[in-house]
A and B are shown apart, each in its own frame.
Chain A
Amino acid sequence: MKRKLCTLGFLTLALVALTLGSAWAETIRIGLMCPLTGSWASEGQDMKQIVELLAAETNKAGGVNGNQIEIVIEDDGGDPRQAALAATRLTTKEISAVIGTYGSSVTEASQNIYAESGILQVATGSTAIRLSEKGLPLFFRTCPRDDEQGMVAAKTLGDLGFAKIAILHDNTSYAKGLADEAKSLLEAQGKTIAFYDALTPGERDYNAILTKLKSAAPDVIFFTGYYPEAGMLLRQKMEMGWNVPMLGGDATNNPDLVKIAGNQAAEGYMFLSPPVPADLDTPEAKAFMEAYQAAYGSAPGSVWAVLAGDAYRVIVEAIAQTKETSGEKLAAYLQKEMKDFSGLTGKISFNEKGDRVGDLYRVYKVDAAGAFVLQP
């Protein structure tokens, strides 16, 4: 009797598993790797909310080719080691593509893991040049590359009429790469580089550096580091009574910059960045922003999280058009056939390396109230 019961139980279990298995086969699973913890947690939370919102919309509209979308989320903690583990876990969960992640070094740790499993990867905030120079055919990104920002920086500085330029970075690979790129382009334009050096991030007192910068008497300071240091520089520059204009890279695009510097010191500060979410002007973006506002009660914090939404949309578009879920087929579609797809952050096409084509950078200026104003 006992044995019979056992067999019956086993059979029932097997039946349930089979039914569930066939149910799973009808959903398309897309992975999302993002920093839900760690110092970039706010970015990761936004990425998660955006992708989940978009997936819910897709599913409400009947899914892709009649299949429902399921988002599988793993936390990379903003840390390369944790990212490698997260990537390994995702590859075992039958995903057809993965979105993410934010930091370049974190993405780099996961690239080969997805490549070996034949999974399409669309990164969202990783701008380091080397990521797409490895010849990985399944790697794409919806964000621009650092060298493009360098070009925009050189052009902007030239257009604003500055001749004597001071460049300051913070020795991180991102900031130094951008500084080097801008330096060589500016020198090719015949500009004078009056100053080129690095500060130590995480310090509080940058007066020694500012004093030295002042003695070089530049027309403008181009700072390629992150917002905490940019805020301190602006604040201490004002306390010194020195009124030189300052331009920053996209890592200074954070509202905390103004909090740290104070409105008075931040006024007039300019930075390069992809458009902030509020300035996205495509109809898709407007509809998305309204839906996001309705679902979560606030606007997404930065454009990097919105780029995760674009990564989701290009993946779904590729699945819808090719009716396939294998990495190679999707990659071939993204590379060769997707032209000027209307994304949340503008038109999206990819080149043969998987980088996004087209200029995304804008110039922003901080106004007297501390708001970021898009410059025409």
Chain B
Amino acid sequence: MEEFFQQLTNGLAVGGIYALIALGYTMVYGVLKLINFAHGDLFTIGAYLGLTLLVSMGLFDKIGPLPAVILLAVMVMILVAIIGAILERVAYRPLRQSPRLSAVVSALGASIFFQNAIMAIYSPKFLVYPHDILPKAAVTIFGLDIPVMRIIMFLTSLVLMAALYFFIQKTKIGTAIRAAAIDQGAAKLMGINVDRVIMLVFCIGPALGGAAGLMVGLYYGQINFSMGWMFGLKAFTAAILGGIGNIPGAMVGGLLLGVIEALGAAYISIAWKDAIAFCVLILILIVRPTGLLGERVAEKV
């Protein structure tokens, strides 16, 4: 039984990362009905920018670990948000009126561009965050040894997700985003600047992805240029699992996918871990084609 709970915490830790990245996919899909394939690479950029800023500014020595991490996170999120906005302006906005497939191809192209740009700038080697900048202690909760960092990481992703949820549900801008997601034409008629809403979505999603990249770099230490592909694929799956276009769905889907993987690995087979996760996804989609929390939306005619 102890192993079960240990595996549950393993799954939740990975699931928190999946959920953060999945939010980016789901927000863009919700507003534009576009799958932003470059999102996984924005996550990678977050991890690399975090490393560059960390090493070049030496923040940990100057202001201590906690303020350093917070400052680093803010800087990475702002930078990745800017890159996301540029991506939207350059790769997606010119194709707004084109068939949806053109935008998908543009997204794939942007993904390849980012991946190769990172490789060319930072080298194809594995890069490593400095060791011993974060506490390595573990706490014992109900007989389980859990590293403190993992708890902090999980809580951080929960806080970010909660903040996003309230932003979308409770603020005026959030309402505008939801309106644009439901019907862009009607939103325009109501005086909403849809272009600006889309730009904003392309800032928030990548910012969260960049934060996830920084967290992965800080906690797991090792980063390389192709890491976004694996995480992106999993996060995309999580978004579908929870119902793409639905923000709480992405959170639930991410956490659930992490837990399914961990438990599948623990009780069935490690080598079949991914296959098990995708079988569960297919079963859920057969029963609920719109995903766990996705609502059936009438097709626009």
Q: Do A and B bind each other?
A: yes
Measuring CB to CB, which residues of chain A are less than 8 angstroms from any residue of chain B?
39, 41-42, 171, 197-200, 202-205, 207-209, 211-212, 215, 228, 231-232, 235, 239-241, 256, 259-260, 262-264
13 A-B Cβ contacts within 8 A? A171-B271, A200-B271, A204-B220, A204-B231, A208-B273, A209-B265, A212-B265, A232-B220, A239-B136, A256-B125, A259-B128, A262-B132, A264-B131
User: Closest chain B residue to A213 by CB distance?
Assistant: B270
Residues on the A chain within 8 Å of B274, using CB: 200
A262 to B262, CA, bound (A): 25
How many chain B residues have a CB neighbour from A under 8 Å? 35
Which of B230, B261, B266 has a CB less than 8 Å from the CB of A202?
B230
Q: Lowest 4 A-B CB distances belong to which pairs?
A: A198-B271, A204-B220, A208-B262, A262-B131
Minimum CB–CB distance from B72 to chain A (whole Å) comes to 19
Minimum CB–CB distance from B39 to chain A (whole Å) comes to 17
B6 touches A211 (CB 8 A): yes
B266 touches A204 (CB 8 A): no
Minimum CB–CB distance from A218 to chain B (whole Å) comes to 14
B14, B126, B147, B230: residue with the most chain A Cβ atoms closer than 10 Å:
B126
A228 to B231, CA, bound (A): 17
B255 CB-CB contact with A under 8 Å: no
A204 touches B265 (CB 8 A): no
User: Closest chain B residue to A257 by CB distance?
Assistant: B126
Query: Contacts A39-B124, A171-B271, A240-B145: A208 and B226 contacting too (C-beta < 8 A)?
Result: no
In residues 167-193 of chain B, which contact A (Cβ within 8 Å)? Answer: none
A197 touches B270 (CB 8 A): yes
B299 CB-CB contact with A under 8 Å: no
A200, A263, A264: residue with the most chain B Cβ atoms closer than 10 Å:
A200
User: Closest chain A residue to B271 by CB distance?
Assistant: A198
A259 to B223, CA, bound (A): 12
Q: Contacts A209-B270, A232-B220 known; list 9 others, CB within 8 Å.
A: A39-B124, A202-B226, A208-B10, A208-B265, A211-B6, A215-B3, A228-B126, A259-B126, A260-B222
A205 touches B138 (CB 8 A): no
A239 touches B265 (CB 8 A): no
Minimum CB–CB distance from A263 to chain B (whole Å) comes to 8
Residues on the A chain within 8 Å of B221, using CB: 232, 235, 260, 262
Minimum CB–CB distance from A236 to chain B (whole Å) comes to 8
Which of A208, A209, A241, A263 has a CB less than 8 Å from the CB of B11?
A208
